[in-house]
Amino acid sequence: MISCRFFWAGSGYDTGRKDLPMKKRLIATLLTAVMVLSLAGCGKEEVPAAPDAGTPETVEEQAGETQDANGSSGDSKAVLDMLRGAGAGEIETDADTASADDGEYLLSKNPNARIFYTVDSAGNVTGTYDRDEIIAAVGDRGSDYVRLYDKQSDWYSDDLIAYDGRFLYFKSYQKYGNDTDYSYVVYAVDTIDYEPYLLWKSEPGDGSYIDVAEYYKGALHVSVNCSRNAEGHLSDRFENCYTFDEAGQKFVETGSGLEDLFAAAIARDYNVQGRIAYYADGRQCYSHALDEVGWILAMNEGEYGRLTADGQFTPIKPLWSDGYPYVVTYDDDYIYFTCWDTDSSCNILYCYDVGRERARALTIPAEEVTVLGYLDGKLYYSIRTMEEYGYPVNTVYSYSGGSNRSEQLYAADSVPGAQFTPGIEGFRIIGGRIYYITFDTDRLEWVSADAHTPDEAYKSTGCVVEEVNAFKYGTVESSSEESACPYCGTTLFRYYSENFVLDDEYSANASVINDFLRQRRDEFFGGMENSDYAPADDSDCEYHLEYPTQNCITDDMMVGDVEMLAGGKLMTVSMNGYWYGGGAHGYPNREQYLFDLKTGERITIGDLYKGTEEEYKRIVAEATKEDFLSYTYDNSPYFSNDSNEVYNQAYGEASFDSPNIEYDGEGVTIIYPPYDMGSYAAGYIEVRIPYDRLNINL
């Protein structure tokens, strides 16, 4: 067992490069561990060829075993104009078929965001919701299935699915009531009186799960895959529709008439796949996809075909001859998929022409390709490029299969300290408008523009995602460094770090705080000389060149939240980091510093707690033991199953100088990093101790 505690639990006073030997040892161990290809990373730094203002041209075609270099019709302006004209015609048709019973849409940073907005199909913002207010309004109604907030994990646990103009729909996967195992639930909350309604619940532990849930044509459609048998085949699939019966004041369940389609899929052991909805993480229900496409894509181990509602199956030639294509979405003419390209160690996005039975690459190797959405025959995607480590640029394109052309919509630069993914986070296509989250001054907010008017500027919707405190109280600085192998040129180290800079108005001694945080950042880079890191000789270069991602150690440290406590007398600065040194995963790192704003000095729990350190250790150990006991055996994040052992370890680690403590308005959180008290998968184990219990009065 590798003990990693030492380097990520850095106290901040003495981290710097002292922790390097530990990192190096860890690197060596990880590099000899299982080699797993990183999905996101790109081995070679290749920026898309940008002949036309960064517009990627298709670069590769493949039709079965033969290559056809003459597939693009984009060379002829007349043909292109004709195709564009045809595209515009499609848009009108689609707009005509859109109706009010498609409901409304959600602007939510993620499915469990606290603040979210509703938007109608014309693009008007119709509502602002705060999950805390919904929780208060629902009260204890539906307590056997509503878990809008999970106390134990301090998490808004139920995922938002949809909004229909009146009901908000949620889904979750929890243990309910006296159930001994987990089950899925889908429920609705009436936004008039906040009455919850249970729509569907799986039997605990029966192996069934929600495949897709979408509000479509006046009903919430829930598609479920039932348990797998011994051979791993699904035993059943179905799609139910739920509508509210005003007279009976209850939801009514009906089938969706897709029994023949699902029966055919199960009989052939084909997996059916839905299409992406108005944002890439959401999928259309099968009824919706059938209405728009006429068939559903069915797959099984490299075999593909079209399944129609009557259960008829029509095979499609393989999408790509090498690797494992991952289908992103499709329409009636094209299937979009990504596939790992071994030459470039990158994922590449492809478009397969169903009629001509051949695929062509939309993107050339780029660091990261993200599919964002699909609307009116256009696929929206982003490619990430990085000229300087730590400062990625996401460039968003729309691609039309008809014209085989990508058009650049916008490019979004990284914003150090803003804690979001610029340009692609929150990407939605609603009512013909594109929405995404952007940073402005001191907040993240939704902006939007017409999807069909490429030159239209993105304007604020007035919908704030969240305020970013680091910019409310100051600014954020950043820098990065890279180091390459002197023999083969492979980048072996990449470091990026941010530091918060407090405005003078919050402290007469802001400079003391800022000097400390700058020094902290400089120590992070200390010793970044090629000579310290360079291999002794070129004996590893073949390996460097073959697995550049596995050989590159990255270490990032970002500014997280900045909070004022005790009426502005104290301030916390949180930092979130991530270290990667090859292997299947890296390691998270989080630190928090507590400052006295009057003096600018850092203070510790020993400055706030009035008792002895011995008493403090006992309180922490007791609280950790209580946290351990709050879990059942099968959901415990702790390695140990002995409460005394947990108590003793917590007691041993607790001290006035421990860096593994975080402060907020109500109390402290003792954090146990991965591998300390629990597994990597368990993440940080957090133990809350309110100030009352410590007799601290901030």
User: Quick check: 82 binds Zn ion (CB under 5 A)?
Assistant: no
Least separation in angstroms between residue 486's CB and Zn ion is: 8
User: Quick check: 564 binds Zn ion (CB under 5 A)?
Assistant: no
User: Quick check: 293 binds Zn ion (CB under 5 A)?
Assistant: no
Q: Which amino acid is at 109?
A: K
For Zn ion, give the closer residue by CB, 178 or 531: 531
Strand partners, 439: 444
Stretch that binds Zn ion, among 47-55, 155-163, 189-197, 480-488 (CB under 5 A): 480-488
Least separation in angstroms between residue 203's CB and Zn ion is: 56
H, E, C per residue of 549-583: HHHCEEEEEEEEEEEEEHHHCEEEEEEEEEEECCC
Least separation in angstroms between residue 550's CB and Zn ion is: 13
Share of the chain residues as helix, strand and coil, in percent rounded to the nearest 5: 20, 35, 40
Which one of residues 487, 506, 525, 639 is an interface residue with Zn ion (CB under 5 A)? 487
Contact 581, 553 (CB under 8 A): yes
* Residue 469 C-alpha from the chain's centroid: 21
Residue keyed to tokens 């109280």: 473
CA atoms within 13 A on the CB side of 1: 10
For Zn ion, give the closer residue by CB, 541 or 603: 541
For Zn ion, give the closer residue by CB, 494 or 544: 544
Least separation in angstroms between residue 39's CB and Zn ion is: 24
User: Quick check: 544 binds Zn ion (CB under 5 A)?
Assistant: yes
User: Quick check: 543 binds Zn ion (CB under 5 A)?
Assistant: no
323: exposed, middle or buried (C-beta count within 10 Å: 0-12, 13-18, 19+)? middle
For Zn ion, give the closer residue by CB, 458 or 547: 547
Least separation in angstroms between residue 542's CB and Zn ion is: 8
Stretch that binds Zn ion, among 157-165, 247-255, 479-487, 506-514 (CB under 5 A): 479-487
For Zn ion, give the closer residue by CB, 63 or 528: 528
Which one of residues 125, 135, 541, 696 is an interface residue with Zn ion (CB under 5 A)? 541
Least separation in angstroms between residue 30's CB and Zn ion is: 18
Nearest partner of 516 among 599, 441, 440, judged by Cα:
599
What are the two backbone dihedrals, phi and then psi, of residue 554, each rounded to the nearest 5 degrees? Answer: -115, 145
For Zn ion, give the closer residue by CB, 118 or 491: 491
For Zn ion, give the closer residue by CB, 402 or 548: 548
For Zn ion, give the closer residue by CB, 510 or 552: 552
Nearest partner of 105 among 464, 430, 447, 460, judged by Cα:
430
The two tokens of residue 118 are: 């509703």
For Zn ion, give the closer residue by CB, 147 or 544: 544
* Residue 133 C-alpha from the chain's centroid: 25
Nearest partner of 242 among 267, 260, 219, judged by Cα:
219
Contact 196, 213 (CB under 8 A): no
What are the two backbone dihedrals, phi and then psi, of residue 618, each rounded to the nearest 5 degrees? Answer: -70, -40
Question: How many residues can be counted in the chain?
Answer: 698
- State the CB neighbour count (10 A cutoff) for residue 660: 22
For Zn ion, give the closer residue by CB, 348 or 492: 492
Using DSSP bridges, classify how beta strands 491-502 and 553-565 pair: parallel, antiparallel or unpaired.
Answer: parallel
Q: CA distances (Å), 233 to each of 211, 225, 228, in order? A: 15, 10, 5
Cα separation, 118 vs 181, whole angstroms: 34
Least separation in angstroms between residue 487's CB and Zn ion is: 5
Q: CA distances (Å), 301 to each of 117, 304, 424, in order? A: 40, 8, 31
Radius of gyration of the chain (CA): 27
Stretch that binds Zn ion, among 316-324, 340-348, 544-552, 583-591 (CB under 5 A): 544-552
Least separation in angstroms between residue 551's CB and Zn ion is: 8
For Zn ion, give the closer residue by CB, 7 or 547: 547
User: Quick check: 483 binds Zn ion (CB under 5 A)?
Assistant: no
The two tokens of residue 487 are: 């023999």
Least separation in angstroms between residue 530's CB and Zn ion is: 12
Least separation in angstroms between residue 484's CB and Zn ion is: 8
For Zn ion, give the closer residue by CB, 288 or 544: 544
Stretch that binds Zn ion, among 137-145, 218-226, 436-444, 485-493 (CB under 5 A): 485-493
Stretch that binds Zn ion, among 122-130, 181-189, 541-549, 681-689 (CB under 5 A): 541-549
Stretch that binds Zn ion, among 20-28, 242-250, 540-548, 560-568 (CB under 5 A): 540-548
Contact 217, 287 (CB under 8 A): yes
DSSP state of 504: G
For Zn ion, give the closer residue by CB, 489 or 690: 489
Contact 355, 333 (CB under 8 A): yes
What 3-state class would DSSP assign to 97? helix
Least separation in angstroms between residue 492's CB and Zn ion is: 7
Which one of residues 364, 383, 485, 553 is an interface residue with Zn ion (CB under 5 A)? 485
CA torsion sign for 665, 174, 168, 209 is positive
Binding residues for Zn ion, total number by CB under 5 A = 5
Least separation in angstroms between residue 534's CB and Zn ion is: 9
For Zn ion, give the closer residue by CB, 82 or 488: 488
Least separation in angstroms between residue 494's CB and Zn ion is: 15
User: Quick check: 316 binds Zn ion (CB under 5 A)?
Assistant: no
For Zn ion, give the closer residue by CB, 223 or 490: 490
Query: What x/- string results for residues 426 through 465 when contact with Zn ion is judged by CB under 5 A?
Result: ----------------------------------------
Stretch that binds Zn ion, among 374-382, 450-458, 538-546, 648-656 (CB under 5 A): 538-546
Least separation in angstroms between residue 46's CB and Zn ion is: 19
User: Quick check: 488 binds Zn ion (CB under 5 A)?
Assistant: yes
Least separation in angstroms between residue 493's CB and Zn ion is: 12
Contact 428, 117 (CB under 8 A): no
For Zn ion, give the closer residue by CB, 106 or 485: 485
Reported as type and span, the H/E element at residue 108 is none
Q: CA distances (Å), 232 to each of 207, 269, 550, in order? A: 11, 9, 33
Strand partners, 564: 571
Cα separation, 104 vs 691, whole angstroms: 44
Q: Which amino acid is at 54?
A: G
Least separation in angstroms between residue 541's CB and Zn ion is: 4
Residues that bind Zn ion in the complex, under the rule CB under 5 A: 485, 487-488, 541, 544
